[in-house]
């Protein structure tokens, strides 16, 4: 491997790795995206598909990426290139994904920061005015940029402290705190009147709700929440010591992510159902604004408890968002540093400049640039970036990766790597998933999706 390997940071142990990978995985995807997708696609039906994907293709790819990273000691471009120059393009393609996600991720991080601030300084009614508060804020230009910059500054600060002192430490505090808070809010939400009907809607699949759109969304959500198909887990794997057991680590990462998404849904879907009265109403009202428009109305109905619940809720979402944006900024930094051979510091500065400028652009997509509606009437630059990364690039990147490992370097190469430190009894099953099941699923889904968008 190249000389960068020697100076690479390493995780201080298995716990640090699992925690940091889970912290990258659990984020706005679980807290903000999952509940609105579940609400939109019929509750239990979406939950079931998401479950199936996380524990098949998700787990298989998680193992693939981390073992590839550890074997090569490189972040994504270098990892593919290590097997021949001509494969570098897969890594390059993947590496573009975090650069697309991070600016809009920070924009939403800014929204979360604003709501936390809002619950601290204003009466909860003010935030529950049917969307005016939200649209007033996101179209404000300057104000929404300021909150985004606050969110970004927190992220940059932690990344600048380094892998061990910054990222690991921050995750060690924020992750357990967020899980405890999420469990508490979920339990509270379930005691609200009417929540039990909502719980049934959320947990019991309704098979008439299946659609190609639901399936592609569940798959995109799997990649997004597990931070797959964009090189992050390759990078995280490259910081691993050979003694860390990969099989149990990835199961814990997937389990935590699924668990937190489930909890996030429990916090939001039944309570929203109770407030709106039916599954159809939930589906119609859900969307990216579920957390910022409908949820404050749900909180408002709680009377005296609204402020405290609002604060706890947005603190926990902020923690989840921060631990993921860290991983995005860290990955961009590491890609630039490995790719250009620059120091970590210089690469971080370049990342910061890029993320800040792009973030401002995405932000202006709701104000002075709102005439840009790339995905039809009323859509935003943010919608476009979310669509391109999740629904287009990630499935393609996952497909390329599976073909690369399944058919070019062969699964055995990575099975050997996994076996350096763990027994891998399901190695054969894993090979089959990587060689056949995952690629076929991905191709079918991509085709179904293209057909649907065109037709
Ligand atoms: N997995 C994170 C989430 O669910 C998002 C993310 C994607 C983080 C890609 C890092 C990289 O919010």
- Model confidence pLDDT, tens digit, residues 194-205: 888 889 889 998
Q: ipTM value, please give it.
A: 0.95
Ligand 1 pocket: which of 224, 256, 397 to mutate (most atoms <8 Å of CB)? Answer: 224
Q: Are 411 and 430 in contact (CB under 8 A)?
A: yes
In contact, 94 and 61? CB cutoff 8 Å: no
Q: How far is the CA of 81 from the centre of ligand 1 (A)?
A: 25
Query: Could you tell me the distance, in angstroms and rounded to a whole number, from the CA of residue 181 to the centre of ligand 1?
Result: 20
Find out whether 395 and 223 touch, Cβ atoms under 8 Å. Answer: yes
Is the pTM here over 0.80, yes or no?
yes
Q: Ligand 1 centre and the CA of 308: distance in Å?
A: 27
Ligand 1 lining (C-beta closer than 6 Å): 24-25, 27-30, 98, 101, 224-225, 227, 230, 232, 324, 327-328
* DSSP letters for 165-222: IIIIHHHHHHHHHHHHHHHHHHHHHHTSTTHHHHHHHHHS--GGG--HHHHHHHHHHH
Residue 111 pLDDT greater than 90, yes or no: yes
User: Considering only CA atoms, which residue is closest to atom 7 of ligand 1?
Assistant: 227
- Kindly give the residue spans of alpha helices, DSSP state H, lying in 245-393: 246-276, 279-285, 295-300, 306-340, 344-364, 381-387
- The boundaries of the domain holding residue 59 are 3-454
Contact 142/363 with Cβ under 8 angstroms?
A: no
For residue 1, pLDDT over 60 is answered with no
Q: What does the pLDDT look like over 413-450, one tens digit per residue?
A: 999 999 998 888 899 999 999 999 999 988 987 887 77
The rounded percent of the chain whose pLDDT value lies above 90 is 44
Question: Are 88 and 81 within 8 A, CB to CB?
Answer: yes
Provide the CATH number for the domain around residue 91: 1.10.4160.10
Which residue out of 28, 233, 260, 324 has the highest number of ligand 1 atoms within 8 Å of its CB and is therefore the one to mutate? Answer: 324
Min mean pLDDT across 62-71, 176-185, 252-261 is at 176-185
Mean pLDDT within 41-68: 94
User: pLDDT digits over 303-324, tens only?
Assistant: 778 899 899 999 999 999 998 9
Q: Label residue 207 by pLDDT band (50, 70, 90).
A: confident
Q: Are 75 and 2 spatial neighbours (Cβ–Cβ below 8 Å)? A: no
pLDDT digits (tens, 9 = 90+) for 337-370: 888 889 989 999 999 999 999 999 999 988 888 8
Question: Tokens representing 354?
Answer: 């890029």
Average pLDDT, the chain: 88
Report how far residue 37's alpha carbon sits from residue 217's, in angstroms, rounded to the nearest whole number.
Answer: 8
Atom in ligand 1 nearest the alpha carbon of residue 97: 9
Look at 416 and 273; give whichever has higher pLDDT. 416
Number of structural domains (the chain) is 1
pLDDT of residue 161: 87
User: Which atom of ligand 1 lies nearest, measured to the CA of 257?
Assistant: 4
> Given pLDDT bands bounded at 50, 70 and 90, which one contains residue 217?
confident
């Amino acid at each position: 491997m190249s000389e960068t390997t020697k100076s690479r940071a390493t995780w201080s142990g298995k716990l640090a790795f699992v925690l940091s990978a889970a912290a990258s995985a659990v984020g706005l995807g679980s807290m903000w995206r999952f509940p609105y997708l579940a609400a939109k696609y019929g509750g239990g039906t979406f939950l079931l598909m998401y479950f199936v994907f996380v524990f098949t293709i998700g787990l298989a790819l998680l193992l693939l990426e981390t073992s590839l990273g550890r074997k090569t000691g490189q972040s994504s471009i270098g990892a593919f290139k290590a097997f021949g120059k001509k494969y570098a393009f897969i890594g390059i393609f993947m590496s573009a994904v975090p650069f697309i996600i991070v600016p809009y991720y920070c924009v939403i991080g800014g929204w979360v920061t604003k709501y936390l601030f809002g619950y601290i300084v204003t009466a909860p009614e003010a935030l529950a005015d049917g969307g005016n508060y939200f649209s007033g804020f996101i179209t404000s230009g300057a104000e929404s940029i300021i909150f985004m910059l606050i969110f970004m500054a927190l992220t940059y600060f932690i990344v600048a402290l380094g892998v061990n002192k910054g990222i690991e430490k921050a995750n060690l505090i924020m992750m357990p705190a967020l899980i405890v808070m999420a469990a508490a809010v979920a339990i509270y939400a379930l005691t609200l009147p009417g929540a039990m009907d909502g719980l049934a809607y959320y947990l019991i699949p309704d098979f008439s709700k299946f659609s190609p759109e639901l399936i592609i969304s569940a798959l995109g959500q799997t990649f997004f929440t597990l931070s797959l198909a964009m090189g992050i887990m390759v990078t995280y794997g490259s910081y691993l010591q050979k003694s860390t057991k990969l099989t149990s680590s990835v199961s814990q990462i997937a389990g935590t992510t699924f668990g937190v998404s489930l909890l996030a849904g429990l916090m939001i879907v039944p309570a929203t159902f109770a407030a709106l009265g039916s599954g159809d109403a939930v589906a119609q009202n859900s969307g990216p604004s579920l957390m910022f428009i409908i949820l404050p109305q749900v909180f408002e109905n709680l009377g005296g408890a609204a402020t405290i619940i609002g604060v706890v809720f947005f603190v926990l979402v902020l923690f989840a968002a921060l631990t993921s944006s860290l991983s995005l900024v860290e990955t961009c930094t590491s890609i630039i540093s490995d790719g250009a051979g620059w120091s970590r510091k210089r690469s971080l500065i370049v990342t910061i400049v890029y993320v800040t400028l792009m973030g401002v652009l995405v932000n202006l997509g709701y104000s002075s640039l709102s005439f840009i509606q790339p995905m039809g009437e009323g859509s935003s630059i943010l919608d476009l970036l979310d669509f391109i990364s999740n629904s287009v690039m990630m499935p393609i990147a996952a497909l390329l990766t599976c073909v690369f490992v399944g058919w070019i370097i062969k699964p055995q190469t990575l099975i050997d790597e996994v076996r350096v430190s763990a027994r891998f009894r399901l190695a054969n099953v894993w090979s089959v998933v990587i060689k056949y099941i995952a690629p076929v699923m991905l191709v079918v889904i991509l085709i179904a999706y293209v057909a649907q968008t065109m037709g």
